[in-house]
C-alpha cells in the first residue's frame, strides 16, 4: 500500500464513514453512557473481557478518532486525549514518577508546568533540576540514581530555544530513562520527537492542533502499553478527560494543520528576513 502524505492522514485516520451511517464529518457522540445488549454484555465490558464503549470517561467514539489520528501523525503507537494541556502534562508526570524521585528538565518550561513541578516537590519530594541540555556531558552530570524522567520542551515557550532531541534521547537510553517532549510549538507537522528517539509526546492542543482559538485541550502519544495503562489508571481515576465536542473541534482543526503551519513558517521567515 502506498504511504499516505501527512495531509491525507490528517483528514482520514481514525474514521471510516461506513461505520457511522455514511456521515462525512465525524459525529459528536454527546453521551455520558452507552447501552448494552444485555446485563451479561455489560458485565463483560466492565470486566475488560469484551471491547466496547461503557462510559465516556472511559472511552468515546469521537475522542477515539482524535486519539488515533494524533498517534498516527506523531508516528506513535497510541494517543490519549485530555481536557487541557496541563491535564496531559500532570497525568504523564504522575504516571512516570513516585515520591522522592527526580525529574531532569529543560531550562525553559511553560509557567504552569513549572508550577506543577513545584507542587510535586512540595507534596511528594519529587525534585527537579533545570539545565540548558546543550551537551551530552552536561546531561550525564545531572542524571541522578533517582532520576525517573527527562522532560523537554522544544521549542521552549516563549523563548523559542531549540534543543537537540536526538542527543537527549541518546543519553537517556544509556540510563533507560524515558524522555517526554512537549511538542506544542512545533506540532507533528514540523517535528516528530518519537522519530528522534524520544518516548512520549505531549501537546497543548489549544494551540496549533486546534488552530481556531475555540477549544482548550491536551494530547499525549506514546507506546500502546504505556498509553493503555495510563488511560485505565491515572486518567480514569484522576479525571481530566476530553469532551466529545472538544474532540470534534480538534478533528476539524487538524484537517488544516499542514496549511496553517506552512503559512506560519513562511510568515516567520519573512519577518526574520525583513
State which residues form the domain around 200. Answer: 6-273
Per-residue pLDDT, averaged over 210-233, amounts to 97
Rounded Cα distance between 204 and 184, Å, is: 6
pLDDT at 105: 98
- Decide if pLDDT at 191 tops 70: yes
Report the chain's mean pLDDT, rounded to a whole number: 95
pLDDT per position as a tens digit, 56-115:
999 999 999 999 999 999 999 999 999 999 999 999 999 999 999 999 999 989 999 999
| Average pLDDT for 211-221 | 97
Global confidence as pTM: 0.94
> Residue 21's pLDDT is what?
87
Report the alpha-carbon angle 177-183-184, nearest 5.
145
What's the pLDDT band for 159 if we cut at 50, 70, 90?
A: confident
**pLDDT at residue 19 is higher than 90:** no
> Could you tell me if residue 201 is inside a domain?
yes
Domain count, the chain: 1
For residue 88, being part of any structural domain is answered with: yes
Taking 80 as the threshold, does the pLDDT of residue 198 lie above it?
A: yes
Residue 185 is predicted with a pLDDT of 95
Q: Tell me how far apart the alpha carbons of residues 44 and 244 are, in angstroms, rounded to a whole number.
A: 24
Distances (CA, A) of 201 to 29, 197, 270: 26, 11, 29
Do the domain assignments include residue 1? no
Residue 50 lies in a domain: yes
253, part of any domain:
yes
The confidence band for 125, taking pLDDT boundaries of 50, 70 and 90, is very high
CATH number of residue 207's parent domain: 3.40.640.10
Q: Which helix (H) or strand (E) holds 147?
A: strand 147-153
pLDDT of residue 3: 80
Domain contains 219: yes
- Which is more confident, 40 or 1? 40
In-domain check, residue 191: yes
Residue 202 located in a structural domain: yes
Cell of 268: 516567520
pLDDT for the residue 1 = 53
Instruction: Over range 21-42, report the average pLDDT.
Output: 94
Region of poorest pLDDT, from 37-46, 140-149, 172-181: 37-46
pLDDT computed for residue 234 by the predictor: 96
Q: If you ran DSSP here, which 8-state letter would residue 9 be given? A: H
The residues, any chain, with a CB within 8 Å of residue 33's CB and separated by 6 or more, are: 54, 55, 56
253 φ, ψ (degrees, to nearest 5): -65, -40
pLDDT of residue 157: 84
Amino acid at each position: 500500500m502506498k504511504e499516505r502524505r501527512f495531509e491525507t492522514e490528517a483528514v482520514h485516520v481514525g474514521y471510516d464513514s461506513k461505520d457511522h451511517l455514511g456521515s462525512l464529518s465525524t459525529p459528536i457522540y454527546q453521551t455520558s453512557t452507552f447501552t448494552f445488549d444485555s446485563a451479561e454484555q455489560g458485565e463483560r465490558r466492565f470486566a475488560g473481557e469484551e471491547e466496547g464503549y461503557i462510559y465516556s470517561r472511559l472511552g468515546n467514539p469521537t475522542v477515539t478518532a482524535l486519539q488515533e489520528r494524533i498517534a498516527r501523525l506523531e508516528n506513535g503507537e497510541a494517543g490519549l486525549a485530555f481536557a487541557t494541556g496541563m491535564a496531559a502534562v500532570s497525568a504523564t508526570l504522575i504516571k512516570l514518577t513516585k515520591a522522592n524521585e527526580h525529574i531532569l528538565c529543560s531550562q525553559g518550561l511553560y509557567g504552569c508546568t513549572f508550577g506543577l513541578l513545584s507542587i510535586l516537590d512540595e507534596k511528594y519530594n519529587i525534585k527537579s533540576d533545570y539545565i540548558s541540555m546543550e551537551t551530552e556531558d552536561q546531561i550525564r552530570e545531572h542524571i541522578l540514581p533517582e532520576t525517573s524522567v527527562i522532560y523537554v520542551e522544544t521549542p521552549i515557550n516563549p523563548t523559542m530555544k531549540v534543543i537537540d532531541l536526538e542527543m537527549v534521547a541518546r543519553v537517556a537510553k544509556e540510563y533507560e530513562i524515558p524522555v517526554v517532549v512537549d511538542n506544542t510549538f512545533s506540532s507533528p507537522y514540523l517535528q516528530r520527537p518519537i522519530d528522534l528517539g524520544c518516548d512520549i509526546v505531549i501537546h497543548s492542543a489549544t494551540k496549533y492542533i486546534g488552530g481556531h482559538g475555540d477549544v482548550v485541550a491536551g494530547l499525549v502519544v506514546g507506546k500502546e502499553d504505556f498509553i493503555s495503562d495510563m488511560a485505565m489508571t491515572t486518567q480514569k481515576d484522576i479525571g481530566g478527560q476530553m469532551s466529545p465536542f472538544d474532540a470534534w473541534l480538534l478533528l476539524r482543526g487538524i484537517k488544516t494543520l499542514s496549511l496553517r503551519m506552512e503559512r506560519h513558517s513562511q510568515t516567520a521567515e519573512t519577518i526574520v528576513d525583513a
